[in-house]
Structures are given as C-alpha cells and as structure tokens.
Amino acid sequence: MDKFQIIEISSLREALLCIESNCHGVVFTTNKDKVVVGLVTDGDIRRKLLEGASVDDLISTCANPNFVWADELTPRETLLKLLDQRIRVIPILNSEKKLVGIVSHNNLPLQIEGRTYARARSPVRISFGGGGSDLTHYFVNDSGAVVNSTISLYSHATLRVRDDEKVMIYSRDLGRSLEADNLQAALSQNGPFGLLQALLRVVQPEYGFELFIQSDFPMNSGLGGSAAVSAAVLGCFNEFKRDKWDYYELAELAYQAERLYFGIAGGWQDQYATVFGGFNFMEFQLDQNIVHPLRIPPDILLELEESLILCHAGGTHDSGDIHQDQQQQMQQECTLQKVQSNVDLTYRIRNHLLRGRLLEFGQSLNEAWQLKRQFSSKISNDRIDKIYNDALCHGAIGGKLLGAGGGGFFLLYVLPFQKHQLIESLEAKGLEILPFRFEQEGLRTWTARESKHQRE
C-alpha cells in the first residue's frame, strides 16, 4: 500500500513520483498516524502547477478531503456502482481509517471464499402396501413391490467442517451429544449414537466436524424415521464431496449403515422413499431395485390427502426384533404365500391410485392390514386391534399400522362426511392426530455461507 499513500507534509514532486510508481493516477495523503485524510489525482497536481505552484509545495495544498472511500464490509455490488460513476480508484479503509486495500477498474477482486456449512432435510414416508416384500430374504427368490409416499415431516441436519480433527455431534432426538478428539475416538464411544457411528463408518470423513440433528417426528414411529435421519446426515456430507453420490447410491449407503453396520434388521423401502421423495412404486429384485415415480393427478392427491388420517397409536416397537421374527416366519410356506398376496395387492393399489379409484384404495388398505398382521404375532396386539376396529365403527373404510408394527402410527382412510366423527372418536381415546401433507420432494441439501449469519 506504500505506493498509494504519502504523508500530507510531502511535496508535489514526491506525490508525482508516487503516482508514477503505482500507475493508477492517484495518491492518498495521510497524517503522521497513517490515517488517510485526502486524495490527490495527477490532474489535481497538474492544475495546481498551471496555477503557478512549485513542485516543492506541500501536497496538502491540493488534496481533496471529501473523497469516496469504502470499508472492508462494503458489498461488491456497491463498489461496482461507484466505479461505474467515473471513479478510477476507491481506497479501502479499516475502522481506524487506515489504507488496507485498493479497488479500481482493473483491480476488483472476487469475494474471498468464506467458511460454509451444509444443511439437509429428508422426509419420512407412509406406506400403503407391499410391506415385508422389501426384505432381502424374501425378494432374493421372489420379486417384491411396495407403494409409498413421503409426507411433510422431516429429519434436519446441519454440518460444519472444523479446522481440527475433533468430532462433535448434537442430537435433539436423543437429547444427547457426542464429543471426541478424532473420528476413531468417536467411533469407539459407547452410548445411543450407534446409527450415527455407523454412518460415519460409511462416510469416513477426513476432517473434523460439528453435526446437529433434529427431527419433526418421534423415534420408533413406524414412519421410517431412522432412514430419514441417515439420508439427512449423508446428504450433508455429500455437499462437501467433489464426486457426489447419486440418489440410488445415497439410499444404498443409508441401508448399509443401518442394516449392515448398525445391525438393525429391516427392508429397503424406507431408504429409497426418503431420498427420492414423492409417490413411488418400488420393485425389489436380487439384481436391482427400481423406483418408479407415480404421476397421480393433483386433484386426486388433494382428495386423498383430505381422506387420510395419521393417528399416533402410542406404544413402542422394536422394528429390528419384529423383522427378525418375520424372517423366521417366512420360512413357512403359508407366510410366503401371504407376502405374495400382499405384493399382488400392491399392484392393485398402484392402479387404484393412478386411476383415482380412492374408495377401492381405502378398502385395499384394510386388506393390506389384514395380510400384514398375519406375518408375525408381534405386529399387532389387543390394544392395536381395538383401536383399528373402533375406527372402522366410526367411519374408517380401511387403514394399517405403519412400519414394522407393534406401535407407532395408524394410517386411516375415511369417507368425507365421517371424518369429523372419526377424529372425535380417536381423540376421545387420548390418541393424537398428526396433520400432514404429501411431500413431492425427497432429500434436499444445500450449502450456505457462515458470514451470512454473523452479527456485525
């Protein structure tokens, strides 16, 4: 910066030499404390000399104290507009009014890359039919198929990369935090972070980070929440990759973490549903899984949305335990035949949705539930059966318990003029009704600058 500033007691001659050396036709005058107090152009000096001044006169005699300047926080857009007003050079001054930079037509640097963080949100799903056929031990021999849709309840994740190797995880879902000096130390800790540790084993990040997780839904809800959490976390890490994972790869990585590393038994549909989003018909075979988006007319979606009730039935369930029991039951031919009947029903459910046959769709939910509850004795119980039968008596056409079973959420289809009656009956039993909308988007990820959220 020395080529652009000169003390105000210097001569015109010294100012000209300074201007010649910086090649910008301007110099800034400073006091003894290096505070910029004026601006002088080569034209100012030339006019002063034509008026009879000597090159040995003080530069302060022709310095302009009312000059345009900017500080380090001045937006680039503002600098562009100033330069567009025939201003050749703009000094950048710090809080002490000392020169720290120069902006000109030929020197307008791009904004220095600041720190960024990644965010992601991934929705949970409601399933309509085909449950059980997305288990590997079933479709390794017979093709599986399910129909599901994501809804407006999400798992949210925020990831910030650190300058050191420390790993910090904060989960509102668990009400706990994990802090470790490095990745290996984080993976070796005991506690409730098994799923997140499994995800870190998959990702193997080569940097320290801070990860924040929260969800809109309760744990063990039967909505595929663990898959939504997994997708959101993987989505954040994906934002910092140059060669990004695609949707199928993200779903497979989520499955790998939960099923293989974390060791929780279950099917494949949750991971694909949360990543892809929307209404999907999914087919499962040993060689490949395929997600088919369903193009359902908007008015049919709106009517279906208004005809469904999502009711928290309470209770807790261990989906892994239920799936393991279901796997044992599938060794029996009669159970395999029931799963195959469920797959056949899934194709009919898909067609009912595409053709807008919503009454038949509601009746199919009842058929799907009657089949599903026979897969394992742990899927239903007397309390769940009573809730469902009472719902049928108060206007429900059909419905099913979501997820593996044992507890969580009931999805009920009700005729339009019986909806209030059914809601009142459910709430009278102390059951919670959860409003929702269909979500057409799946996993969403993005990055943001930390500077956008820093207080000045």
The tens digit of pLDDT for each residue in 243-284 reads: 999 999 999 999 999 999 999 888 999 999 999 999 999 999
Q: Answer yes or no: CATH 3.10.580.10 is held by domain 2-104.
A: yes
| CATH level 2 (architecture), domain 117-433 | 2-Layer Sandwich (3.30)
R_g (Cα) of the chain, nearest Å: 33
Secondary structure letter of residue 371 according to DSSP = H
- pLDDT at position 433 is 95
Residue 23 pLDDT level (bands cut at 50, 70, 90): confident
More confident residue, 198 or 406: 198
Residue 330 pLDDT level (bands cut at 50, 70, 90): low
| Residue % of the chain over a pLDDT of 70 | 93
Q: In terms of DSSP bridges, do strands 5-7 and 26-30 run parallel, antiparallel, or are they unpaired? A: parallel
Count the residues in the chain: 456
Q: In terms of DSSP bridges, do strands 209-215 and 408-414 run parallel, antiparallel, or are they unpaired? A: unpaired
Distance CA 151, CA 148 (A): 10
Residue 111 pLDDT level (bands cut at 50, 70, 90): low
What integer is the mean pLDDT of 358-374? Answer: 93
* Per-residue pLDDT reduced to its tens digit, 92-103: 999 999 999 999
Distance CA 130, CA 381 (A): 21
Mapped onto helix, strand or coil, the DSSP state of residue 255 is helix
| Ranges of each domain in the chain | 2-104, 117-433
Res. 325: pLDDT tops 60: no
Helix ranges (H only) for 67-180 are 76-83, 136-139
Q: Quick one: which of 272, 21, 9, 323 has its CA closest to 123?
A: 272
- pLDDT at position 327 is 59
What integer is the mean pLDDT of 234-242? Answer: 97
Determine contact, residues 255/181, Cβ cutoff 8 Å: no
Distance CA 445, CA 118 (A): 7
Distance CA 450, CA 262 (A): 33
Cβ count within 10 A of residue 376: 23
270 is catalytic: yes
Determine contact, residues 147/353, Cβ cutoff 8 Å: yes
What integer is the mean pLDDT of 54-59? Answer: 92
Res. 351: pLDDT tops 90: yes
Res. 234: pLDDT tops 90: yes
What integer is the mean pLDDT of 231-250? Answer: 97
What integer is the mean pLDDT of 364-380? Answer: 85
- pLDDT at position 213 is 98
What integer is the mean pLDDT of 100-112? Answer: 81
pTM metric for this prediction: 0.82
Res. 240: pLDDT tops 90: yes
Distance CA 39, CA 82 (A): 16
* Per-residue pLDDT reduced to its tens digit, 145-192: 999 999 999 999 999 999 999 999 999 999 999 999 999 999 999 999
| Residue % of the chain over a pLDDT of 90 | 74
CA dihedral (93, 98, 101, 106) positive or negative: positive
Residue 113 pLDDT level (bands cut at 50, 70, 90): low
Q: Which of 27-31, 145-149, 332-336 has the lowest mean pLDDT?
A: 332-336
Res. 84: pLDDT tops 70: yes
What integer is the mean pLDDT of 208-224? Answer: 93
Determine contact, residues 349/128, Cβ cutoff 8 Å: yes
- pLDDT at position 2 is 82
- pLDDT at position 331 is 60
Q: Quick one: which of 6, 10, 4, 3 has its CA closest to 61?
A: 10
More confident residue, 210 or 109: 210
Tokens 């059966």 locate to: 385
Q: What is the mean pLDDT of the chain?
A: 91
Residue 372 pLDDT level (bands cut at 50, 70, 90): confident
- pLDDT at position 333 is 76
Choose, from 44, 134, 216, 270, the residue flagged as catalytic.
270
* Per-residue pLDDT reduced to its tens digit, 289-323: 999 999 999 999 999 999 999 999 876 555 555 54
- pLDDT at position 10 is 93
What integer is the mean pLDDT of 371-390? Answer: 85
